[in-house]
Amino acid sequence: MTIKEFARLCGCNPQTLRYYDRMELLKPVKVDSWTGYRYYEEEQALDFVKIKNLQTAGFTIEEIRGLADASNEEIYSAFEEKIKEAESRLRNIKRIQQSYQYEMTTMEKRIETWREQITKTLMEYDPTEEFGVDKEFYEDKVIGNVNAFFDDLIRKKDDANFSLTGYPDGEELEPEEEEIDFLKDPHYEMLYEVHGWEHVKDFLGEMPRLESNTEYALLFKVNEEKRKTGFANTMLGVLLAKYARGENRKLGCNVTDTEDGENHFWLFKAK
């Protein structure tokens, strides 16, 4: 039988038979060396039924090859094993379904607890002397955006990338997971530095504008009294509000202890 005739017998199209041939599942009994035409025997339709049903049941190509010469009893046994596997997967899915709501509720409570902790810390922090910003700006641009960040987390039900040292404000903020020595890292170039300052407001107006679609890193080495959650968040909030609002960029902020008793600041840009 030609491939078209065999395809009609099997109720499939010739493309399926060519695919089975390439996968070495069902080879034609003869291939004309001159025309390349494939020829099949009627008895091979039984092999086609076996292959089609195994494939439909989710058996892999390798598994189907291994059952090519199997008896009907062996095929039935293979189906039983596949059924057991499917039942096991179904039980696992049901367990996941049952735990889904519990985990979602737990996540919401966890995020809300974090919101309360960080908001309390920020409310206790007075940025006026350090940054020269008023209460309205601080509550709107800094604390307001922290709350917006947590609202977004609750919508996404995802705290995997949460950090207490930064928040988004229409921007992508990524505090460093591992402390990087930006002063030695060849992937960053230094744009600005200032040393021996008392308050951030002393140099804030001198910083260069942050360009869009660019990754920046802020490095502070400061006295212990400045190492507070409110310090880093306020710095990011001030930058986003005054220099870089409404555009895409990455901002990272590392705050570490000073080594010489003086306050230091560096601004880096990723190369």
pLDDT of residue 220: 95
pLDDT of residue 164: 41
pLDDT of residue 66: 94
Phi, psi of 190 (to 5 degrees): -85, 130
- Torsion angle in degrees (nearest 10) through CA of 138, 142, 148, 151: -100
Digit-coded pLDDT (tens) for 106-123: 888 888 888 888 888 888
Query: Considering the chain, what is the average pLDDT of its residues?
Result: 85
The CATH architecture assigned to 3-69 reads Orthogonal Bundle (1.10)
Cβ distance 270 to 217 under 8 Å?
yes
What average pLDDT does this structure show over 25-44? 94
Domain ranges of the chain: 3-69, 128-270
The 3-state DSSP class for residue 86 equals helix
pLDDT of residue 175: 43
Q: Is the pLDDT of residue 149 over 90?
A: no
Q: Using CA atoms, how far apart are residues 246 and 122, in angstroms rounded to an integer?
A: 24
The 3-state DSSP class for residue 270 equals strand
